[in-house]
Structure 1
Amino acid sequence: MVKPRNVIDRGDLVLRRWRGQRDFAAAFTLIEESLDHLRPWEPWVARHDEEHTRALLGRCDTWWESGEVYTYAIAEDGAPVGMCQAARAAEPGGRRVGYWLHPAATGRGLATRAVAALAEEVFTLPGVAYLEIVHDRANTASAAVPRRLGFTELRREPAARPVAPAGSGTAVVWRLDRPVRTARNSPSGASAAMTTSDNRGPRLP
């Protein structure tokens, strides 16, 4: 099975595969420092503790090997500042992208850059025809990412349960189709992946 690279390097911004218990301390600290920021939008925050984080990282290894979910730390200048992932979508040929940032890393376009890098990488994998992003209608910060990257809003539907504390109960589904040029080292880079859409995870962690 062809898999994405363990490290996607964009200079000051790097996506690095989370690797089991080796990354426990970094992941736990990142989540701990982000709890208040994430609590309104992420129901899993209510279950957060050391055991939950260890279990998550163990699943990350299993999911990576099976191709179910590819989970990365988002690192800026070597320090983890968030997470992103590409999970199998419900329909064949798709990947659902999820992302979040430490509160100190927001407002500088890092989520957009991270998702662009992840999209370019995932579109090099055989059989990936489209990406989708799903977020609560009230989460306008999450909505900005697919909008900037050329995703098209497909539909609005009842949100998965449980609904986050600040959630509206309505999920917005966006889609980006596979671009024409997808070679891993294509000079068109992420910009091509973000501008050729005709469009429509699990969330982390």
Structure 2
Amino acid sequence: MSQVFELADRMADMRFRALILLATFASLRWGEAIALRRHDLDLVARTVRVREQLVELDGGEMRLCPVKSRAGRRTVGIPAAIIPMLSEHLASYVAHENDAFLFLGKKDGFLRGGNFRRAAKWGEALKEMGLTGLHFHDLRHTGNTLAAQSGASLADLKARMGHDSDRAALIYQQTTKDADQRIAGALSARVEAERKDRRPDG
């Protein structure tokens, strides 16, 4: 979890610190995150509302669309720990109008993936942290995993992720279950090793 904050702090353009944190801890897709507006973020209730997505078409046009499914329209709780950073972002980088976008490019155009990676120096930040092959979408995976590790139910995970089916949420629950079993196995092996050391010879 600390690596998420470190990555956010390593962004060359600090406008993107809040983007990293919100995408991770609210389990947002790229298109959902860059479509967010000021009125979608409620810092008092600690929620973010997902209603739209920005899609970059093959010809380069950026199109604002509804999310793909009814489940995709959702309100996601966000941890209190990132509220100060989000509040600072609103004050420093977001226009005062309620429908102002939270994350824009330098010339106040829609934020494109390539522009983000260049301005944030995404690759350089990952290299400095010793991480390779990490994509923006992996932040959502991290958020989903953290939610599953918190003990969230299948229904809660589905709602948070914006999925209609159980399949994706079950993957994160199973991953958490497998990790827990590995921990239990390691603890068991340690107990057995200590018992063996205490046994008298012969």
TM-score, normalising length: structure 2: 0.28
Which structure has the highest strand share of the two? Answer: 1
- TM-score, scaled relative to structure 1: 0.27
Bigger Rg, which one? 2
Between structures 1 and 2, the one with greater helix share: 2
